[in-house]
Amino acid sequence: MNRKLRALIVDDESLAREALLVMLDDDPEIEVIAECRNGKEAVTVIREQSPDVVFLDIQMPEMDGFQVVEEVGARQMPVTIFVTAYDKHALRAFEAHALDYLLKPFDHDRFNTALQRAKTFVRQQKLGEISESLFAMLQDMKLKTGGDSPTDADNRNPERAARKEPIDRVVIKSGGRIYFLKIEEIDWVEGAGDYLSLHSGNQTHLIRETMGNFHAKLDSQKFLRIHRSTIVNIERIKDIRPLFKGDYVITLTSGMRLKASRGYRRELQALLDEAR
C-alpha cells in the first residue's frame, strides 16, 4: 500500500473507541483520522474527510449505524466494518451479504482478520462491491422490519422493543476465539454476580451477563427460572419432586439435581399445571 489506510472509529462508548484505537495503533499501514461519539458526527466526518474504512457501531442513541449508512448513502460509504453486541437480525443481514462485522467482545485475531479484509477491498478498489452489499443489506433490513432497522424501530417503539424475539444463540469467547452456542444446547444456567455459567452437556461456558438480563432474552416457553441464580431448560427436566415449605428438587436428564425456591413457585406451578 503506497499510502496509509485512513480509518474512522464510530462508537458511543469511550472504552470501545479506545480498544479499537489501541488495536489500530499497532498497524503501521493505518492512520486513524477521527473518533466519533455518535452517528451525526460520523456522517459529517465521512462526507468531509472520505475515510477508507470505518469501524461503525450499530446501537447508538439518536442515530444508529444503519441510519448512518442511509444518511450518507450506501454507495457513498467507505469500506464498513460493523461493530456490534449480539443482534440476531443484524448478524443474519451481514452474513447474507458478505459484510464484515465484529462482535463485542472480540480479540486481536478476529480484529486483524476484519482489518486485512478491509485492506484488500481498498487495495483492489472493490468499493463498488462493498457499496452494493451495503445497499442490499439495507433493502433486506427494510423488508424484514417494515421499513425500519431493528434498533431504529425499537428506539421509537418501546412496546416493540419489549416484544423482541428471544435469542437463538449466544456468543462465547474462549481460548482466544469467539464462537456461537445454540440456546437449545444449554441444559441450565448458573448465576454469580455479573457472570453466568452456561452448562451444556459436559461443558461449561462463562459469560459476563446478569441473570436478569439473560433471562429476559430467553424464550419463556423453553426456559424456566427456578431460583434467583438458576435457569433451567424445560426440555432437560426429567422429574420434579416437592421438598419442604414450597421448595422443589428438579432432576435433569443428565442426573443433575437443582433446587427450585419458593420465590419462583408460580412459574414452576404453571409448568406443572400444563403437564396435567
Task: Note the pLDDT tens digit of each residue in 21-47.
Answer: 999 988 999 999 999 999 999 999 999
> What is the three-state SS of 187-239?
CEEEEECCEEEEEECCEEEEEECCHHHHHHHCCCCCEEEEECCEEEEHHHEEE
Tell me what the mean pLDDT of segment 254-259 comes to: 93
pLDDT value of position 151: 47
Least confident of 50-64, 70-84, 186-200, 257-271: 257-271
pLDDT value of position 180: 81
pLDDT value of position 101: 75
pLDDT value of position 272: 64
Helices (H), 88-222: 88-96, 108-123, 127-145, 150-156, 158-162, 211-217
Compute and round to an integer the Cα radius of gyration of the chain: 22
Distance, in Å, from the CA atom of 84 to the CA atom of 20, rounded to the nearest integer, reads: 13
More confident residue, 129 or 80: 80
Least confident of 85-99, 111-125, 240-254: 85-99
More confident residue, 145 or 216: 216
Q: Given pLDDT bands bounded at 50, 70 and 90, which one contains residue 184?
A: very high
Do residues 200 and 181 lie in contact, with contact meaning Cβ atoms separated by under 8 Å? Answer: yes
pLDDT value of position 155: 47
Share the mean pLDDT of the chain. 79
Picking from 182, 163, 162, the residue whose alpha carbon sits closest to that of residue 172 is: 182
Q: Residue 156 is placed in which grid cell?
A: 421509537
Distance, in Å, from the CA atom of 56 to the CA atom of 81, rounded to the nearest integer, reads: 6
Cα first-last separation, the chain: 70
Q: Given pLDDT bands bounded at 50, 70 and 90, which one contains residue 2?
A: low
pTM score, two decimals?
0.50
Picking from 119, 111, 113, 129, the residue whose alpha carbon sits closest to that of residue 2 is: 119
Picking from 33, 149, 155, the residue whose alpha carbon sits closest to that of residue 82 is: 149
Q: What is the DSSP letter of 97?
A: T
Whether the pLDDT of residue 163 is over 50: the answer is no
CATH code assigned to 5-158: 3.40.50.2300
Tell me what the mean pLDDT of segment 75-97 comes to: 66
Can you tell me which residue has the cell 451495503? 134
Delimit the domains of the chain by residue range: 5-158, 169-275
pLDDT value of position 188: 97
**Residue 175 β-bridge partners:** none
Q: Given pLDDT bands bounded at 50, 70 and 90, which one contains residue 152?
A: very low
More confident residue, 26 or 151: 26
More confident residue, 253 or 142: 253
Q: Residue 50 is placed in which grid cell?
A: 472520505
Q: What is the DSSP letter of 73?
A: -
Q: Residue 103: phi, psi to the nearest 5?
A: -95, 125
Give the fold, CATH level 3, of 169-275: OB fold (Dihydrolipoamide Acetyltransferase, E2P) (2.40.50)
Q: Quickly count: other Cβ atoms within 10 Å of residue 45's Cβ.
A: 19
pLDDT value of position 80: 86
Give me the numbers of helices (H) and strands (E) for the chain, helices first please.
10, 15
Whether the pLDDT of residue 102 is over 60: the answer is yes
